[in-house]
């Protein structure tokens, strides 16, 4: 493991402070967006373990989000249990499904795996649409607000700490931030661990990993289980924050957004899932408020359509310019700065975490 130098530490401290004070700097709608970003980043962190560390591409993430969301709804609303129970349970049940789907990766590889997990999403949607008792059927169902001891996250509730007031959106934000911090720490320490190194070995060359004595099957299934568990937790929070969802929503598009987030953030990196989630989940609403776009509803081409075009083109342009993602971009900037400050040219190096 690499030791943190003081600059990195300062940066980390700055980021954490920023994340904590953010709700006081943002307007209501931007805070809502930020909350969706943080909730999304939890699931992205999970997918990053599977795809970034272990090299297994899954388009099935939406399925595990749905499993988590419906577990939360069943236990939190129908059985009226505390969020202390249903949030971990959502992760647990999703992990069980991860263990069921995971072994497929033992037979099927690469883009074939991507497509087979895409099949899981479609089959999942079929089940959700027909399991009326659990999901409300095609009409959808409501999801419970988080209840944590004395804390009630329903809309209209608020927490007053001295002179500071945190509304229900803020509460969701902090809860999601805590869980994201936990997930990130876990993923970070996983990479240095034996299991994490096994995953990276599987990613780099499966046959070689096998020769080195890595239990490839167990490693892949473990990655699926971790990825699904984090997706489940994220899905439970997502459903709860959204308060209502239909089976249609757990779609391939949702899965693609998570893949996009980790690729754009930087595959296999620690900060990648969060950075990518910011781009993927916040950009569409930010783009709609670009100054040069006409105001919505004044006729002509809709701003939503224009911003979607820009969104698509940005993904293309960005990945062409920097296929290693935002973290890669950061590395490039650092190299640039170093080259300028030192007299002798330094060969550009990547942070060891970045995937080449």
Partner 1 sequence: MTEFLQLAFQGFSLGCTYALIGLGFVVIFRASNVLNFAQGAMLLVGAYLISWLAVDVGVPFLVAVLVAASLLTLGGAGFQAVVLRRVTGQPPFVIAMITIGAGIALVAGVEAIWGPEQRLLGDPWGSSSFQVGGVTIGWVKLWGIVVTAVAVAGYFAFDRYTRSGLAIRAIAGDEEATLSVGVPVRRMHAITWGLAGALATLGGLFLAGFPGAPQPTLGDAALRAFPAIVLGGLTSPVGAVIGGVVIGIVEVMTSGYAPDWTGANFYAVAPYIVMIAVLLVRPYGLLGRAPAERL
Partner 2 sequence: MSSSKSLSTAAVLVATLSLAACGTGDATTADSGGGSAPASGGIKGGPGIDVAAKTIRIGDISALSGPVAVLGEPLSAGRRAYFKQLNASGGIDGWKIKLTTKDSGYQPQQHVQQYTAVSKEIAILNSLGSPTTKAIQAQIDRDKLVTFPASFDSIWGADPQMAPIGTPYSYDLANLLDYYVASVSKKPKIGLIYANDEYGADGRRGYDAAQESLGFEDVGQLSYKTGDTDFTGQVQKLKSAGAEGVVLVTTPSATGPIVGTAASLGFTPQWLLQGPAFLEQLITKDGSSGAKATPVAAALKGALVTSFAAPWGAKDVDGMADMIAAHDKYTPDQPPSIYYTVAYAQGKVQAELLRKAIAAGDLSRAGLLTAKENLGEVDLDGLTSNPTFTPEGGPPSTKSLITQIDPGVEGFLKPLEPAHGSKAADGLEIPES
Contacts with partner 1, residue ranges (CB under 8 A)? 51, 57, 104, 107-112, 114-116, 118-120, 122-123, 125-127, 129-130, 138, 207-208, 211, 252, 256, 259-260, 263-264, 267, 301-302, 305-306, 308-316, 319-320, 323, 355
Q: DSSP code of 78?
A: I
The nearer residue to partner 2, 224 or 281, going by C-beta atoms, is 281
**Residues shown for the chain:** 356
Binding positions for partner 2, rule: CB under 8 A: 3-4, 9, 12, 16, 20, 27-29, 31-33, 36, 129, 137-140, 142, 145, 149-162, 167-169, 171, 174, 177-178, 181-182, 185, 188-189, 242-246, 248-249, 284-285, 288, 295-297, 299, 302-305, 307-308
| Cross-strand pairs, 196 | none
Contact, 229 vs 46, CB < 8 A?
yes
Find the shortest distance in angstroms from Cβ 264 to partner 1.
8
Contact, 97 vs 70, CB < 8 A?
no
Find the shortest distance in angstroms from Cβ 280 to partner 2.
12
The nearer residue to partner 2, 285 or 339, going by C-beta atoms, is 285
The nearer residue to partner 2, 57 or 254, going by C-beta atoms, is 254
The interface partner of residue 18, options being partner 2, partner 1, none and the CB cut-off 5 to 8 Å by kind, is none
Give the Cα separation of 302 and 329 in Å (integer). Answer: 32
Q: DSSP code of 138?
A: G
Distance from first CA to last CA of the chain, Å, rounded? 19
Contact, 293 vs 307, CB < 8 A?
yes
| Cross-strand pairs, 151 | 148
What are 46's two structure tokens?
């999970």
The nearer residue to partner 1, 16 or 317, going by C-beta atoms, is 317
Find the shortest distance in angstroms from Cβ 174 to partner 1.
32
The backbone torsions φ and ψ at residue 52, rounded to the nearest 5 degrees and listed phi first, read: -75, -50
What are 336's two structure tokens?
């640039």
Find the shortest distance in angstroms from Cβ 228 to partner 1.
17
- According to DSSP, the β-strands at 244-245 and 141-142 are antiparallel
Contact, 273 vs 262, CB < 8 A?
yes
The nearer residue to partner 2, 106 or 165, going by C-beta atoms, is 165
The interface partner of residue 311, options being partner 1, partner 2, none and the CB cut-off 5 to 8 Å by kind, is partner 1
Contact, 142 vs 77, CB < 8 A?
yes
Find the shortest distance in angstroms from Cβ 159 to partner 1.
39
Find the shortest distance in angstroms from Cβ 119 to partner 2.
16
The nearer residue to partner 2, 209 or 245, going by C-beta atoms, is 245
The interface partner of residue 62, options being partner 1, partner 2, none and the CB cut-off 5 to 8 Å by kind, is none
Find the shortest distance in angstroms from Cβ 285 to partner 1.
15
Find the shortest distance in angstroms from Cβ 139 to partner 1.
12
Helix axes 216-242, 28-47, angle to 10 degrees: 160
The interface partner of residue 217, options being partner 1, partner 2, none and the CB cut-off 5 to 8 Å by kind, is none
Give the Cα separation of 226 and 56 in Å (integer). Answer: 13
| Residue 232 CB neighbours (<10 A) | 34
The nearer residue to partner 1, 7 or 107, going by C-beta atoms, is 107
The nearer residue to partner 2, 56 or 168, going by C-beta atoms, is 168
33 closest CA partner among 279, 327, 307: 279
């Amino acid at each position: 493991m690499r030791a943190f130098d003081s600059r990195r530490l300062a940066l980390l401290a700055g980021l954490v402070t920023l994340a904590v004070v953010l709700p006081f700097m943002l307007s209501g709608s931007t805070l809502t967006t930020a909350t969706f970003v943080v909730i999304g980043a939890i699931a992205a962190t999970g997918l990053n373990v599977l795809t970034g560390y272990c090299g297994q591409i899954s388009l099935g993430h939406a399925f595990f989000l749905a499993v988590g969301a419906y577990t939360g709804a069943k236990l939190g609303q129908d059985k009226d249990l505390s969020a202390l129970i249903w949030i971990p349970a959502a992760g647990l049940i999703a992990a069980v499904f991860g263990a069921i789907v995971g072994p497929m990766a033992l037979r099927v590889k690469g883009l074939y795996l991507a497509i087979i997990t895409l099949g899981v999403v479609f089959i999942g949607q079929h089940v959700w649409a027909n399991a009326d008792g659990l999901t409300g059927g095609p009409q959808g169902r409501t999801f419970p607000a988080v209840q944590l001891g004395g804390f009630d996250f329903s809309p209209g509730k608020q927490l007053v700490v001295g002179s500071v007031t945190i509304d229900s959106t803020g509460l969701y934000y902090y809860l999601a931030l805590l869980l994201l911090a936990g997930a990130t720490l876990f993923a970070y320490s996983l990479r240095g661990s034996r299991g994490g190194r096994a995953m990276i070995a599987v990613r780099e060359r499966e046959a070689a990993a096998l020769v080195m004595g890595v239990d490839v099957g167990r490693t892949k299934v473990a990655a699926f289980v971790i990825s699904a568990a984090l997706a489940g937790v994220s899905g439970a929070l997502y459903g709860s924050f959204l308060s209502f969802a239909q089976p249609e929503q757990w779609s391939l598009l949702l899965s693609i957004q998570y893949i996009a987030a980790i690729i754009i953030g930087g595959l296999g990196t620690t900060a990648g899932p969060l950075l990518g989630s910011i781009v993927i989940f916040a950009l569409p609403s930010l783009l709609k408020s670009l100054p040069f776009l006409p105001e919505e509803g004044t006729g002509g081409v809709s701003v939503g359509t224009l911003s979607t075009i820009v969104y698509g083109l940005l993904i293309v342009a960005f990945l062409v310019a920097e296929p290693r993602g935002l973290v890669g971009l950061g590395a490039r900037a650092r190299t640039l700065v170093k080259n300028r400050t030192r007299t002798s040219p330094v060969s550009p190096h990547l942070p060891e975490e970045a995937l080449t």
